[in-house]
Amino acid sequence: MLPLASSVVTAEGSAPVPRQLLIHIGYPKTGSTWLQQVIFDSGRYGLLPWGTDGSEQRARNLWFADRLELDVEGLREAYCARLQPSLPADAWMALSSEGFSGSLFSGGHNSAWNADVLHALFPHARILVVVREQRSIILSAYGQYVKKGGLLRLEALLAGSRNKKIPFFDLRQFEYHRLIAYYQGLFGSDRVLVLPYEWIGSDPLRFIASLHGFLGIEVAVADPGKQVLNRAHDAVSLAVMRRLNYLRRADPLNGYSPLATPLGRRLIDGLCGCLRASLFEPLSGRIRQRWQRRIAATVAGRYAESNRRLAALSGLPLEELGYDCGSAPQNPSDSGK
């Protein structure tokens, strides 16, 4: 555990906190919008959204908290001020932000700090972590990087640029066992649930049933059906967008480009929308396959040990879900048997 601060300011009893609280910490690109808009919506799946405007809370409050004198009660008040009024005492509340697991384009460097602060604020909470097979999440993350204004080609992003003028991308962030073990150390292993993103698409009822079993919720569950939220851009439009991002967005990912204008963004987004036409699907497929091959070559074998540790921590059948678990190294004492 990291030392939270040299001084911690508290004032007991001034901020009412839900008795039954689920904190969903991400990861990014693992179905957070589906969780927030479908599962944590109006209570039909046994959970209520944290605020009247939804369960999502920006992790920015944690990032900008004073690390020398953390005002735990003040920060708790800021979160609880958005709670829905007149909540049933036995209601399960969902506080959700994929940013709690760390910023995707700064290497997740703030993930442990966020965990420490969340534990200081809500030590009784239960934690939900959703993971996704690494090759798949990296490809999705690259699409997100370009949409946010990134300029680097995939190969350069995978190389983990440490340009101090812009955030960086660190493949270690997807060694999921590290952060999950950290949360288990803070909250207890029985209070941390890890579920695979892959179940959201292939077996959403299993995903929901696992969550309900973890929380002890007993409600009849209707199949949420197939829903596509935050549809990804196709590869052709992303390739064009990346080359024009200096004119499209001013963002930390491109050093706050001085050339970006609202008009430029509208025109470029309109152009990229046109490139989604079926005419470009064959080219888009070839580009996507090339990206997939590049990612596969870069991370080959990299996550096998981490995934084996994650399987042990979570009990998930990761190898069946397509995660690279490799084969455990042979114990030297077993040789020759």
Which among 131, 128, 130, 132 is positioned nearest to 214, based on CA atoms? 128
Percentage with pLDDT > 70 across the chain: 88
Name the residue with higher pLDDT: 195 or 1.
195
Residue 131 has a pLDDT of 98
**pLDDT band per the 50, 70, 90 thresholds, residue 328:** low
Would you say residue 1 has pLDDT above 70? no
Q: In this structure, are residues 55 and 95 in contact, taking their beta carbons and an 8 Å threshold? A: yes
Residue 291 domain-assigned?
no
**pLDDT band per the 50, 70, 90 thresholds, residue 329:** low
Name the residue with higher pLDDT: 183 or 168.
183
Residue 94 domain-assigned?
yes
Residue 242 domain-assigned?
no
Stretch 13-38: mean pLDDT: 86
Exposure b/e, 158-186, CB count within 10 A at least 16 = b: beeeeeeebbebbbebbbbbbbbbbbbeb
Stretch 237-253: mean pLDDT: 93
Would you say residue 5 has pLDDT above 70? no
Residue 64 has a pLDDT of 77
DSSP 58-105: -THHHHTS-SSEEEHHHHHHHHHTTBPSS--TTPEEEEE-GGGG--GG
Most confident of 87-101, 139-153, 317-331: 139-153
Average pLDDT, the chain: 86
pLDDT in tens, 102-130: 888 876 788 999 999 999 999 999 999 99
Stretch 204-214: mean pLDDT: 95
Least confident of 7-16, 179-188, 227-236: 7-16
How many other CB atoms sit within 10 Å of the CB of residue 316?
A: 20
Residue 228 has a pLDDT of 61
Cα-Cα-Cα-Cα torsion 307, 308, 312, 318, nearest 10 degrees, comes to 60
Would you say residue 6 has pLDDT above 70? no
Which among 228, 167, 176, 216 is positioned nearest to 38, based on CA atoms? 228
Residue 41 has a pLDDT of 81
Would you say residue 13 has pLDDT above 70? no
- Give residue 35's identity as a one-letter amino acid code: L
| Bridge partners (DSSP) listed for residue 23 | 95, 127
Residue 102 domain-assigned?
yes
Name the residue with higher pLDDT: 165 or 220.
220
| CA–CA gap between residue 146 and residue 110 (Å, rounded) | 22
Residue 210 domain-assigned?
yes
The CATH number given to whatever domain includes residue 122 is: 3.40.50.300
Would you say residue 174 has pLDDT above 60? yes
Would you say residue 163 has pLDDT above 70? no
pLDDT in tens, 256-279: 999 999 999 999 999 998 888 778
Domain span holding position 313 = 18-134+171-228+302-318
Residue 182 domain-assigned?
yes
Residue 54 domain-assigned?
yes
- Give residue 83's identity as a one-letter amino acid code: L
Name the residue with higher pLDDT: 249 or 54.
249
Residue 289 domain-assigned?
no
| CA–CA gap between residue 337 and residue 333 (Å, rounded) | 9
Residue 140 has a pLDDT of 95
Percentage with pLDDT > 90 across the chain: 57
Would you say residue 201 has pLDDT above 80? yes
Count how many domains the chain has. 1
Residue 130, CA distances (Å) to 31, 314, 325 in order:
8, 11, 18
Which among 51, 65, 165, 178 is positioned nearest to 111, based on CA atoms? 178
Would you say residue 33 has pLDDT above 50? yes
Which among 109, 114, 113, 111 is positioned nearest to 169, based on CA atoms? 109
Q: In this structure, are residues 70 and 117 in contact, taking their beta carbons and an 8 Å threshold? A: yes
Q: What is the DSSP letter of 17?
A: -
Residue 17 has a pLDDT of 84
